[in-house]
Amino acid sequence: MESANLREQIKYQKLFVGIILASFTHELRNHLAVVKESSGLQQDMIALEGSVKDLSGLVQTLQTVDEQVDNALQLTSFLNRFAHRMDNEEAYFSVAEVLDELMVLVSRLARQRLVALDTDFSEVVPPVVGDPANLQMLVFFLLDEKIRNLPRESSILIRIVAAQGGAMITIASQGDGLEDAEQGSRCPREVLHSVARGMEAEIIDGEGTQETGIFLRGAW
Amino acid sequence: MNRKRSIRVLLVDDERAFVDTLARRLTIRNLQVNVAYDGEQALSRLQKNAPDVMVLDLKMPGIHGFEVLKRARAQAPLTQVVILTGHGSDGDAAIVSELGGFGLLRKPADIETLVRKICEASHASRAHA
C-alpha cells in the first residue's frame, strides 16, 4: 500500500517537473527567437543597403537583444535555484524565497489563462523545515487547479503569514469562484494531502473553494 | 518574385517584439504582412480580410492556437495555416494535421525555411480557390 502511494507521488512529482520544464523551455525559446529575428533583421538591412545606414535602428535592435538576454538569464537563474531545491529532502528554508521561484516559473501559465497572480510575502515569518521541492509541488498543483478553472480576468492572491510558530500559505481566488470548473485538477487532492503529511504540513480548505491554506511547521 | 509579392500573410503571436521583427523581415522578402497579437484579433482579421496564409503561434493568452486553427479552417477554408511554435511536443504536429493545418515549424525557425513554407501554403490555398 505504501509503495503504491509512493508510486503515485512520484508520478505527480514527474508531472510537476515536466510542466515547469516545458513552460520554461517554451519561454526561453521565445526569448531566443526575438534575438534571432533581431539579428536577422540587421543582417537583412545590411544586405539590402550595403552598410548600416540606420544607426538608431541598430541601437534599438541591440537594446532589444540585451533585454531578451537579461530576461533569459533571469529565467535560467530561477530554474537553476528550482533544480537545487531537490538537493535535500529535509532543509530549513525561507518560504518566501521558495515561492518567489515558483511564481516566476508559473506566471506564464497564469498569463495564458488571463489570470493575474498577486503575492504578498511582506510578513516576516520564521524559516520552516521540510522538503522545499515538495512544497513547490503542493503550491503549484493548488495554484494550477485555480488557474485552470477560474474565469478569465480573475486573480489569485498568494500570501504568507506567521502561524503557530510556523508559516501559513494562503491561496485565495478572486473572481467568480470555481463554479464553472471544467478542467478539474491535474493532481488528485489525496496525493497532495499525502505529500503534505510527509513533510508534517497540512492542507486546509477554506469555506467553499475560494481559499486554500498550507500550514508548515517552524524550524524551531 | 511577383508571385511572392501578392501573397498575403497574417502573423499571429503574443510576443510583440518577435512578431513585429518577423513581419519586417518577411516584408523585405516581398510578402504582404499583417499582424495580430492574440487569437481573437486574428479571427476578427480573418473575417474582414482572409489572408492566403496564417502563421500561428499555439500558446497564447486567451484562445489557444489549436482553437484558433479549428475556427479559422471553418471560417476561411482557403486560408492555409502554418503553426510556428516554441512548444515542442511531438503530438502537436499530429493534432495540427488533424485540424487541417498546413504544417508546423519550431520557433525560432530559419527565415528562408519559413518563407518556403509560406509559399507552399499559398500555392495550396490558390489551388483550392
Do B81 and B120 form a contact (C-beta atoms < 8 A)? no
* pLDDT band at residue B4 under the 50/70/90 scheme: low
**B107 at A interface, C-beta within 8 A:** yes
Mean pLDDT for the stretch of residues B47-73: 94
One-letter identity of residue A165: G
Q: Which residue has the higher pLDDT, A51 or B117?
A: B117
Can you list the positions of beta strands (E) in B50-127?
Answer: 53-56, 80-85, 103-106
pLDDT at position A159 over 60:
yes
Provide, as residue numbers in chain A, all residues whose Cβ is less than 8 Å from the Cβ of B111: 37, 40
Provide, as residue numbers in chain B, all residues whose Cβ is less than 8 Å from the Cβ of A37: 18, 21-22, 25, 108, 111
Helix/strand/coil percent split, chain B, to 5? 50, 20, 30
**Would you state the pLDDT for residue B5?**
61
| Residue whose cell numbers read 521558495 | A98
Please list the residues that pair with A117 across neighbouring strands. Answer: A156
**Would you state the pLDDT for residue A66?**
94
Q: What percent of chain A has pLDDT over 70?
A: 93
Q: How far apart are CA A192 and CA A195, in angstroms?
A: 5
Provide, as residue numbers in chain B, all residues whose Cβ is less than 8 Å from the Cβ of A112: 59-62, 64
The CA distance from B86 to the nearest CA of chain A, in Å, is: 5
B23 to A77, B11, B29, B66: CA distances (angstroms): 31, 7, 10, 22
**B88 at A interface, C-beta within 8 A:** yes
Residues of chain A numbered 42-71 and touching chain B (CB < 8 Å): 44, 48, 64, 68
One-letter identity of residue A167: A
Three cell numbers, residue B79: 486560408
Subunit contact B21:A25, Cβ cutoff 8 A: no
Nearest Cα residue in chain A from B15: A30
Give the range among A50-59, A142-151, A172-181 with minimum mean pLDDT.
Answer: A172-181
Please give the model's pTM, rounded to 2 decimal places.
0.84
pLDDT at position A1 over 80:
no
Provide, as residue numbers in chain B, all residues whose Cβ is less than 8 Å from the Cβ of A48: 28
Q: Which of A44, A68, A111 sits opposite B25 (nearest CB)?
A: A44
**Would you state the pLDDT for residue B1?**
45
Q: How far apart are CA A100 and CA A80, in angstroms?
A: 13
Q: Which of B22, B25, B87 sits opposite A26 (nearest CB)?
A: B87
Average pLDDT in chain B: 92
**A40 at B interface, C-beta within 8 A:** yes
**B75 at A interface, C-beta within 8 A:** no
pLDDT at position A179 over 60:
no
Using one digit for the tens of pLDDT, what is the confidence trace for A93-131?
A: 999 999 999 998 899 889 988 999 999 999 988 888 889
**Would you state the pLDDT for residue A127?**
87
Interface pTM, i.e. ipTM: 0.86
Do A79 and A24 form a contact (C-beta atoms < 8 A)? yes
pLDDT at position B89 over 80:
no
Q: How far apart are CA B88 and CA A21, in angstroms?
A: 11
Subunit contact A64:B17, Cβ cutoff 8 A: yes
